Structure 1
């Protein structure tokens, strides 16, 4: 078992490998991480915390992970923020990339470069020097908002009469925010091909290392889809809440970081297993019991349906929940010491 786990972990590392940026010169973590007013950090900064606040000056890039990320001072570089709430009251001379529940560029706040954000709610009342690409449920441009380039968005836009946009305003369904493969530098089809190949390799590793367990996960997903999807939904919603609570305390931060990694791996495996289960069902209709055909057919089907607006994203989400729930149930049964005959079946 230890050998199998080592093989899987090694494969995940190889599959997830991308050209890594140079490591940040300074890393801070804690319940609350603060660059105090009057303090100057003369290097790149990476911060992990329940709340990350920049009141002083950072002469470099800032990468922040937390429940809240607030920039009240000055960042002489780029800002990458992943948090429940991201707020820029001060100045970021470079580009801002933000993902979270809410994003606010307050009145008097300034972004010298481009803004790319994906959030539930986005409010812009300050100034953006170049283009802005926004994907959100609700988007508001206040009367003091200034965008120096194009404004590309996907969501419900409320533009105040005083808001100024120097470039074009364009609504783009499923706006591409340029995160990873499939961004503006790559056509969507290339991202889909890349995703298929990476997912197929991960699925192949899982099938080779854990053949009976993988078959059991797929069988469970098809035999009891409602239960599997329900458990998947509970995990999808509940785990991030638990991780945020871990980040609140200093002691919980290492566990939280490890939990984020495990959660990401579980989502990835869940998606692949969900596609494998779907492919097994489709292949079964055609009287084909090959697990490799099932894996390929499932991944291709889910990738193709992803190009359908709205419906595609919904189907992919359901596939993720189906695989995640079946994976969790299979792990509970196996490592809880219960025998499962379904694990001995093959697709």
Structure 2
């Protein structure tokens, strides 16, 4: 049976995981259908402001007055569903059978705008296949292996495309220009950057919750080391970052050392990740302590969120995040070394077993 302390730590970790998982479904109500990531549904009688989601499926049957930003297996705006703003989607399938009053930026395996579907702005997309049967008021830029214009399609602007164009070309009121390739990167970049930022924050939060929940004393020690000896921690982190790859390369010279190098590389990458999380946590804990706030969970959230904001600062943002990572990696290495040395000294002081 786990001790009360261990049970308490496990409950803390579980609660943190539940909270962090909740971030995945954004500010809307979601219902689980057993799929990975669940399903987020805006029901027909439901109205929400915005949708930001990572999920298995995102389905709009009701009204979203603002924007929809989604990364999912399937993103659907069903017949009768309405998006008042823009739709940004990364998905295996993007299906628009309802109305999107703003513009659409999409990347996926398949893109479909049905006969009942409409887009009030521009459509920019990269897909394996694309079929347009509805109305699009703005210009269309498409990169796909096959692009089909259905009989019900109505494109009020220009069509720029890369791929094979089939079907009702008379549906295009403007000009049709074939380009190879059509550059849709600028329009899809906000979706990709949003997806990466949310994913990185959630994964770092999950790892930080595990570290604080299972190793609270060690985590406090790491934070204290960053606060009390930042130069030593930073130098140690730099030494680990530079020295370990050199050591692994030396081990890999021999055939028998290749498996060790592979395992060591995996462990090294994980250690860097832990160091990054610890560094952000430690710096935030030090800053909050100056305001008499000693909550480690608050420090974790503030540190991770602050790093996201810091990364958006030109010129100095990335170097400062690197410095924080080196502080965390160095403090982690110092803490592990201290613990191993303590165990070794305890073993040396232990009296030898009696020989029968």
Q: Same fold (TM over 0.5)?
A: no
Structure with the largest fraction of helix? 2
TM-score of the aligned structures, taking structure 1 as reference length = 0.45
TM-score by length of 2: 0.44
